[in-house]
Each structure stands twice: as structure tokens, then as C-alpha cells.
Amino acid sequence: MEKMGLSDDDWNNLGAYVSPIQVDENSTKKDCIETMISRAYDYLGTEYIVGASGKPGQGVDCSGLVMQALYAAGINPSPVNVIRHSQPGYEYESRNLFNSKKFKKISYKNRKRGDLIFYSNSNGVIIHIAIYLGNDKVIESWPNKVVVWPIKNSHRSRIAGVRRVFN
């Protein structure tokens, strides 16, 4: 653990942290979207660790980042959750988020700020998720850290679909 740069506390809590809800019953749809994005920004520069969804600065992968942003905006993506995500075999929860009935399918051309962007490999398998910011930019956890990048770039450009969190 220490050789990986993680303390005992980091190692034991990477899959146990849940962002506190930062919205309430009076929050508008716009408030919820901005809260989700703001929470993702709290993770900028956080190290990419497969299967992690820790606190900002502690370690997170793409689906871990999205789950923490969803929790902050009052969305529980169960059965996808941070505890399960940290278990072997559930590292790629982006696939389950893609298939979740909780999010509405949206065409790529109709994407809006706050939508979830899903990417696939050359075989069509979902391998990545990001949050759309608008202006063809996303915030994502991609090796080696959480960054804001163009929606399509040299690292990945196969967009498999778009899902709307707040209808």
C-alpha cells in the first residue's frame, strides 16, 4: 500500500466514502446540475485509481467520480454504489450506469450540460464515463488524474451514448 503512495486509511476508505448531499427539496434542476458539476470539480487533479471512489484528493476512477457527483446532487445510482465498485469484478461500473433505467437516453446532438457521456472500445463495450460541461468539454477521471478535456480527443473518441440525469 505504502509503495503505491496510499496510507492504511486511504487503502481502507477508497470504496467507503459517499459525498454528502448538497441540494435540498427547494433546489431547482439547474441547481442540481451545477452541484453535480461543482462536486466533480472538487476532484480536479485527484489521482486516477481503478475501482476507487474516495474523497477529493484521495483517488478516484471515472465511475467513482461520477457516483460522487451524483450523490452530491441527491441521486443514488443503486444498485451501482461505491462499496460494490471497490470490489473485484465491479471496477467498470460505467457499463451498469449506461444500462441504468434511472437515466434518460439522449441523442449525442441533443447533449446538455450535466449529461453523462459514455465511451466504448472498438468492440462496442462501454469502458468510460464522463460528465458533459458544455462547449464540447467533459470532466473525467482518466489515467492519470481528474481533468477537463475535449469530449473527443486522441485518447478516446468512440461515444457510445448520452444519458440525462435530470429530466
94-125 pLDDT, tens per residue? 999 999 999 999 999 999 999 999 999 999 99
Structure confidence at residue 1 (pLDDT): 47
Let me know the angle formed at the C-alpha of 56 by 82 and 65, rounded to the nearest 5 degrees: 45
Give residue 62's pLDDT band: very low, low, confident or very high (50, 70, 90). very high
CA distances from 97 to 33, 47, 64, 79, 85 (A): 17, 22, 11, 9, 11
Mean pLDDT, all residues of the chain? 90
Structure confidence at residue 15 (pLDDT): 61
Task: Give yes or no for a contact between 28 and 62, defined as CB atoms under 8 angstroms apart.
Answer: no
* Rounded Cα–Cα distance for residues 153 and 140 (Å): 13
pLDDT in tens, 77-89: 998 888 888 878 7
Task: Give yes or no for a contact between 82 and 16, defined as CB atoms under 8 angstroms apart.
Answer: yes
For 159, the grid coordinates are 461515444
Stretch 148-163: mean pLDDT: 93
Long-range contact pairs involving 98-107 (C-beta distance under 8 Å, separation at least 24): 98/126, 98/129, 98/160, 98/161, 98/163, 100/163, 102/75, 102/77, 103/163, 103/164, 103/165, 104/163, 104/164, 104/167, 105/161, 105/162, 105/163, 105/164, 106/162, 106/163, 106/164, 107/162
pTM of the model: 0.91
Structure confidence at residue 131 (pLDDT): 98
Give residue 32's pLDDT band: very low, low, confident or very high (50, 70, 90). very high
Stretch 122-131: mean pLDDT: 95
Structure confidence at residue 10 (pLDDT): 56
Task: Give yes or no for a contact between 158 and 122, defined as CB atoms under 8 angstroms apart.
Answer: yes
Instruction: Name the DSSP class of 87.
Output: S
Element (H, E) at 137: strand 137-142
Percent of the chain residues topping a pLDDT of 90: 71
Answer whether residue 8 shows pLDDT above 70: no
Structure confidence at residue 61 (pLDDT): 94
